[in-house]
Structure 1
Amino acid sequence: MKAFRTMIKTELKLSLRGMDMLIFAICMPVVITIILGIMYGNKPAFDGAKYTFFEQSFGAISTIAICAGGVMGLPLVVSEYRHRKILKRFKVTPVSPAMILAFQIVIYTIYSITSLILVYIASKLFFDFSFRGSLIRFFLAYILVMISIFSIGLMVGGVAKNTKIASVVASILYFPMLIFSGATLPYEVMPQALQKVADLLPLTQGIKLLKSASLNLTMDSNIVIKGVLCS
């Protein structure tokens, strides 16, 4: 257990040196929260809605850190470790390569949970956010989304020949998913044609799950199936 804590602490320090995750996984979601809160405030999501547009956006904003860690962070770390043969070196130590990858997943999970908590605090503190759904249901959906997106990151990092290729592929996946899945640009304000394109992205389905959980809405069984398949 002591060795586990030491490895997590070491890997987390290495991750924080780059500042990327601090900016894109921690600061960015809070900034987006404040911007959407100022823009929409207590406006209803639509005429006759029992919840506000901002409350509807909470589930989407909470995935920004997952997207940053899973699609940008993990692929680069895994590909770099492979390229520098770090994972092979660990084969002769008590710590297996699989454990190193597990440490990375734990670190990006910490980023995601921290971001979720900060977004909730900012929403509650500044915009009187009301969570209308089930916390257990939301948390289970959040874990499913993390598994799905982190799996994509591990696959990219494991397949890419080097760090440069992993970086290019990660960027191609990250920016469209960040913008068009509804994580930053609300899905509801997109034109119908763009929504159809967005529906092809795995994060879009995850966001729909989180929105239905946070707003206590009926969950579409098709969305659940898509979410499970993506993971």
Structure 2
Amino acid sequence: MSALPTAERGSATWRLVKAESTLCVRDKVAPLWGIGFPLVLLIVLGSVPDLREPVEGSGGLTYFDLYVPVLVLFNLAILATASLPTTLAGYRENGVLRRMRTTPVGPARVLAAQLVANFAIAVVAMVLFLAVAGFGFGVDLPQHLPGFALAWLLAAGALLAIGLLITALAPGRGPATAIGTVLFFPMMFFAGLWVPISQMPPLLRDIAHYTPLGAGMGAFQDAYLGHFPSAVPLLTLAAYAVVCAFAAVRWFRWE
């Protein structure tokens, strides 16, 4: 079969992106758990007066100030451990990727379309969380917006690469869900969902700095305090993105 002309390939890719985005919304995992649940949690936490008290060692940030970036990371973690891997592993399990290998579109574009769809949902969620926290509860935007944007992009890249790695290792939806669940709760713990990182014991605090969400939280905190994120969390996130993406490509199975 001859290759598609460049314009047709671009058009097919765009149609595939739109189709995968529609399916991603219909599947409800990404919008409900990635946006809806953390948004409700944000509103509930913002209504608790005790969470407006400053946290020791956080540069004057309150508990609620800290929960806003945690919930931004929560969204990325849901997409990486639930939405992306279960969808793509389901495609493999049902033979979708195998059948697409015989078409000019090819399965690689399915991966790209899924990444774009999940990335778009993550952008919407991040903007929505910051807007609700700011307009609804008076939480200031990060004082260093370019630093925050860079940290978010690296965090999104690291988490989505982890999602692709889960997809590469899981033969179907069931194993993908199991692997994602096992990873989700420790990652959220080290992001400070239950205990702020600054209040963790020294050993756990040191471990948190080198986990994907702990590094993301550290970079976010720097940006909120008006500083460009330090090199360690940014390099940690970049390392996760590169290593996990390389491993996912190396071990990915189409069928």
TM-score bucket (shorter structure): 0.7 to 0.9
Question: Do structure 1's residue 7 and structure 2's residue 1 form an aligned pair?
Answer: no
Structure 2 letter corresponding to 1:163: R
State whether residues 154 and 234 of structure 2, in contact with CA within 8 Å, keep that contact through their aligned partners in structure 1. no
For residues 99-157 of structure 1, give each alpha carbon's deviation from its aligned partner in whole angstroms, at most 9, with x where no partner exists: 11010011111111111111111111211121242222211111100111111110111
Partner of 1:220: 230
Partner of 2:115: 105
- For 2:227, what is the secondary structure of its paired residue? coil
Partner of 2:33: 24
How many residue pairs were aligned? 231
Structure 1 letter corresponding to 2:139: F
Structure 1 letter corresponding to 2:197: Y
Displacement of 1:13: 2.3
Question: Do structure 1's residue 36 and structure 2's residue 26 form an aligned pair?
Answer: no
Structure 2 letter corresponding to 1:66: L
Partner of 2:174: 164
Structure 2 letter corresponding to 1:58: V
Displacement of 1:98: 1.1
- For 2:104, what is the secondary structure of its paired residue? coil
1:49/1:168 CA distance change after superposition, 3 Å: closer
Structure 1 letter corresponding to 2:18: K
**d(CA) in 1 for partners of 2:208, 2:98:** 39
- For 1:12, what is the secondary structure of its paired residue? helix
1:151/1:48 CA distance change after superposition, 3 Å: closer
**d(CA) in 2 for partners of 1:141, 1:55:** 17
State whether residues 60 and 184 of structure 1, in contact with CA within 8 Å, keep that contact through their aligned partners in structure 2. no
State whether residues 78 and 157 of structure 1, in contact with CA within 8 Å, keep that contact through their aligned partners in structure 2. yes
1:44/1:98 CA distance change after superposition, 3 Å: same
- For 1:62, what is the secondary structure of its paired residue? helix
Which runs of 5 or more structure 1 residues have no equivalent in the other structure? Answer: none
For residues 161-181 of structure 1, give each alpha carbon's deviation from its aligned partner in whole angstroms, at most 9, with x where no partner exists: 222212211111112223442
Query: Match for 1:83 among 81, 93, 96?
Result: 93
State whether residues 20 and 114 of structure 2, in contact with CA within 8 Å, keep that contact through their aligned partners in structure 1. yes
C-alpha root-mean-square deviation of aligned residues, in Å?
2.4
Query: Match for 1:211 among 215, 221, 224?
Result: 221
Displacement of 1:38: 2.2
Question: Do structure 1's residue 62 and structure 2's residue 69 form an aligned pair?
Answer: no
Aligned pairs (5 A) from 1:168-179: 168-179=178-189
Query: Match for 1:182 among 170, 174, 192?
Result: 192
Displacement of 1:86: 1.3
State whether residues 209 and 233 of structure 2, in contact with CA within 8 Å, keep that contact through their aligned partners in structure 1. no
Structure 2 letter corresponding to 1:3: A
Q: TM-score, normalising length from structure 2?
A: 0.80
Q: Which structure: larger Rg?
A: 2
Aligned pairs (5 A) from 1:143-154: 143-154=153-164
Displacement of 1:212: 1.1
1:97/1:116 CA distance change after superposition, 3 Å: same
Partner of 1:115: 125
